[in-house]
Structure formats: C-alpha cells, structure tokens
Structure 1
Amino acid sequence: MNNITKDLLRRWIDGMCTTEEAAYVQQYLQQYPEVLLRQMDENWEHASGVMSKKATASLWQQIRSQIKPHGRTILIMGQWKKTAVAASVLAIFFTVSWWANNRRHNKPVAATIWKTVRNSGSGKMSFQLPDRSKVWLSKGAVLQYANDPEKGTRQILLTGEAFFDVHKDSLHPFSVQAGKVKLTVLGTRFNVEAYDNEENTRISLIEGKVSTNYSDTHNKTITTLLTPGNMLCYNRLKAEGNVQPVNISDAGSFTGADIVLQDISLNDALNRIGSHFGKTIHLQNNRDDQQQLTAVVPGNNLEAALSNLAFIYRLQYRIDDNTIQVVRR
C-alpha cells in the first residue's frame, strides 16, 4: 500500500475526507499504526488544552504502553496482534480526536428550549410561530414548539386540534408530532386532530404536500404522502391508517369560529361540542355502530350547534344547566 500524505491524514482526523478516502486511511492505519502515533504527537497540544494535565498524561501513557510496550516491538509482532493493537490505538484516538475537535470548535451545545401554548379561552386562538408560520389552536388544545432560531429547528408537539399555515423554508422542514403520527412539510396548509380521548388522529391537507409516518402492529414504519383534498385517518388502537377524501376543503372552516366535524362518531362529535361550550353531554342508549358524521356547526351558539345535529341525525336533547341529555329518536 502506498504512503498517505500528511494532508490526507489531517483531513481524515478533521472528518473532511470522502467516504472512499476515509476507508483507505483506516485500512492503512490498521497496518501502520505508528503513522497515527506521529500525527498524534504533532496534534497533542490541542487535545491537552481541553483535557486536564493529569488526564492527558494518563491517556498518553496508556496509548504508549499499548503501542510500544517494549521499544519497537510493534514492528515485529504477528499480524493478528498488530491488528488488535491497531484497533486499540484507533479506538483511543477517536476519544482524543473528539477532545481535539471540541478544542477547535469550542461551542457549548445548548439544550433545545420548548415553549408551550395552551388555549384556555372560549374560541380558537391564532398566533404566529418564530419561523412566521401561522397557527389556529382550537379550544382546550396544547401546542409545544422548539424555540431554537440558531439551529432553525421547526418542531411541534400537539394535543388537540390545530390548523397550520406553514411558512415555506426548503432548508428547515416543519414537523408535527400528533400522538403516534409524525408529519413533515416544507410549506403548506393543513389541519390536525389529535384528541386524547378519541381513537383516531386525522390530518387533512388543504394545500401543498405532507409526509406522514407511523408504526403499525409489527413496529414497521409506514410512510404516506398526502396530496391536497385528502385526509389520513390513523386509529391508534389498531395501529393502522387509511387515506380518504377530505369532506371539508375550505381553510376558512378550520380557521373561523365554526366547529368542524370530519368523519367522526356521534359520541365524539357531542364530546367536542360539549368541551367547546364547557358542557357535559350524555348520549343515552348509545349503540356501538359504525356510522360516522361530517358537519360544520356554529362555534358561538350552543343551541344552533345542537339543533343542526338534531335535525340531521334525528336527535332530541335537553339542557339542564351544565349538563345536556341527548337521545336518538
């Protein structure tokens, strides 16, 4: 094998080599570890500037003892022993290199700071994230976002429902973790429903593209690319999802005062309305059927919201202060 240049070795130490160059250097050093020793002699001052003197001396002695336990014995060892020693040298060197790199790039790694927004008001809350993306947070929803402008991080954790109008930034994908579903976008408009008390998580795409990821019952990652006018419905109990057409395609419905109910059970719909208006709704003789409903009901008028559902789905209801009784006709 030909000799390697000092420049190539330095670039390998600094992590600046190509994949092919790195493989070549590592193979070379396994056969000629004394080359690495000479280079470490030259670079040791950088590492010792970060490590304590005691730790530096101890580590250096450890390397020397493994490399040259008896003068130049390493040069006449059997190949299998030389390889074993070379592996030890390389392993120790990686530790030293880490210290040296920290010395050259001595910047503290700050922990990601998460900020929390809770909507405890009576209607939807709208606000702008640091990256200029806009959010409409439904009542009772909780949103956490990573506030890290230096890294350009755009990460969201969501419980409840929110509509997003994401600022386009091709260099920094925007991700939302909604229960067990993670979605990633660059710039788009979509709605997420991730209620703790419901089996299904729904992502409705109005504009752009969204990539969704979740794990199935075999812990296999399933990736789905949504296009405008489609919705992913993920059932967390069955760990399965399906894509279906969006029944509500107007962004104004999600950002306005209305309550949007998309392909959900009657019981879940009544729970959402009750939570929105601060009421407890009981659905009597509730049968476990597969009927799903889709509707847009007023979010500023309880009577109107109940009347709309009662007319369409043949219901009767009675309001007693903070409790509402609903029965099927």
Structure 2
Amino acid sequence: MSKNPVSYELLDKYLAGRCTAEEVYLVEKWYASLDEEGSLPADEKVFDQPKQWARVRAALRDHMDNPAGHTYTPAKSKTLPLWPNFSRIAAAVLLLLGVLGGYRYWQNTQDDERMTTVGVSAPETVRIENTLNRIVRHSLPDGSEIWLNPGASIRYAKLFQSDFRDVSLEGEAFFEVTPNPSRPFRVSSGKMLTTVLGTSFNVKANPIDQQYEVSVVTGKVSVSAPDPSGRRQSVQLLPRQQAIIDATSGQLAQKELPASAGKVASWQPVSLTFQDATLGEVVSRLEKKFDLKITLANPRLANCRIKAVFDQQRLPEILDMTTLMVEATYEMQGNTIILTGAGCPE
C-alpha cells in the first residue's frame, strides 16, 4: 500500500470541525481518490479488519454528504485526544454523531432563549444538555473536557473572560480541567461550589433528591457550601476523596472513597488489550475491572470478535470504540450498561 498523506490525527480534526481550509481540501481530495475497498490512513494497528474500516469510512462519507452545520476553523487550543493514533478517527465519528443527535444548544439574549445549532456563531451564554442514554463528551473554550451523564446539563459563558472559568451543572458529569493558575475553574452545582486550578473530578447534583457530591480523581479541589445558618463551610479534597452535603443536616462532610475489591471507578483510565476476543469476553473483563454491570440485549452479540488496544482510556471511551467495531449501541440505566445490536453468528 502506498503511503497516503492523511493521518488519523488529520481525520480526527476533520470530523471534529477543526481543520483549516487547506486541510479540508487535503482530506476531501484523499477521500475522493479512494477505491472501492478504500485505503487506511498511515497507522493500521487496529483497523486491520476490513469490516471495521468500512464502518469508519461510511461515517466519513455520511459526514461529507451532510455538511450542513459544520464549520472548519483552525484549532485555537490543544484538546486531549480521545484515543491515541489508530482510534482517533473512531472517536471523532462517535463524538460528532453524539453532538448532532444528543446535544441541545441554547443561546441566551436579553429577551429570549432559543435553540441554535452547530455552526451558528456562538452566543454569550451556552447551555448544553445530554439528551442521550449514554455519556457524551464536550469541550469547553479553554480546552477543558466534560463527560456528561444522561440527562445532565451545563451552562457557561461563550468565552472565559472573567477572573474565573465558571460552569453551572445539573445532573452528573466528569471534568478534566486544563490548568490555568491565574484563572481558577469553578463548578456551581446547587448548594456546592467546587474550585480547582487543574485536575479531574466527578460532580453529582440532583436537586430533586437533594444529593450533592464531588469526587476527586486527580489533583486537589476546594468544595464549599452554606451550612444551615448560612455560613460558608469548605473542605479540601485529594484523589480518592469525596465531599457530600448531608440532606438532613445540611452539613458538608468529607470521606475517603473505598476501593471496591480491586475495581476502579468508571472515570479511572485503564489499559486493556483484546486479541481476537469475543464481546462476551470483553464484557466479562470490563465488569471485573469496573464497578458496574453490563448486559447484552441480544445474546448473539457475545459472538462478535474484537481486536483492540486501549492505552490509559476511560470506560466511556472504551465503550464507544467497542460498540463501533461490533455495530452496536449502548445506553445507561443507573449502574447498568445495556448493549444493543444485531450480533454475530457463532
């Protein structure tokens, strides 16, 4: 196979809408030159199965056939790749579909609040809600990343121009914050205010059940909330520590997160290798690694085979890549993940 000029990194930028005009031309010229089978980008470590590459290629074709709503501008800040090299293209495909199918964009004006779509000039205030039954990732203006659980929503300024990078949250989300000591990052979630300089943490804010929690994965955060008398109370959290507001007393409590029999939290990066494994075997390993339950809606899914390497990736990223390879989808129901698809013959 002759060397082609398009890398996974460039395809990632193209599908994420971060290419320059010259890069767009390069990708589309390369795509138009593909033969019926298509040629892989430079790195062929995982998409060595024609069926898997065909699915990614189909997503590229769909993206080019439906360009409405996409803008291509030079990237202003470096964002973290979802997967290294070989799987960046799959990440971009799935995240793009998540944006088009599961996000609602609002722009706030003085007089009204109306829907906007990708590609429309950004408003001063942005509100994003995950309407899917799966976790979806969103990038903030400073390059910070947020993984929104189903039903979660965030609101933030179009540009972080004040002394703080402020985000308000309803629901549950995981944050990976780009360091900036001169402009701290703050998350407002009900009664809780979480302040960080650069770290990763999970926030749960459920006003209906009066459930407010902050759990730290890396770095250090400060969490504050008013006590019953109105005075501000605060705690400092380190990795594997959690802050909770007691629904009865209103007191802010700090506790250690227990290790669950060697299992890791869903947001903890892990490395896994699957060499021609069945999806049934993959599910079994994921359940042993993470503290959750995975169910196959169709037993035939267990027959599908997977060859992949995940290097320090989180559960949502692993699920996205895995379901892409077996033509399946997943949804979350509490602490249970349900995979749905046609499956494979024995």
TM-score band, normalised by shorter chain = 0.3 to 0.5
Question: Which structure is higher in RCO with an 8 Å CA cutoff and minimum separation 6?
Answer: 2
TM-score of the superposed pair, with normalisation by structure 1: 0.43
Based on CA coordinates, which of the two structures has the bigger radius of gyration?
A: 1
TM-score of the superposed pair, with normalisation by structure 2: 0.41
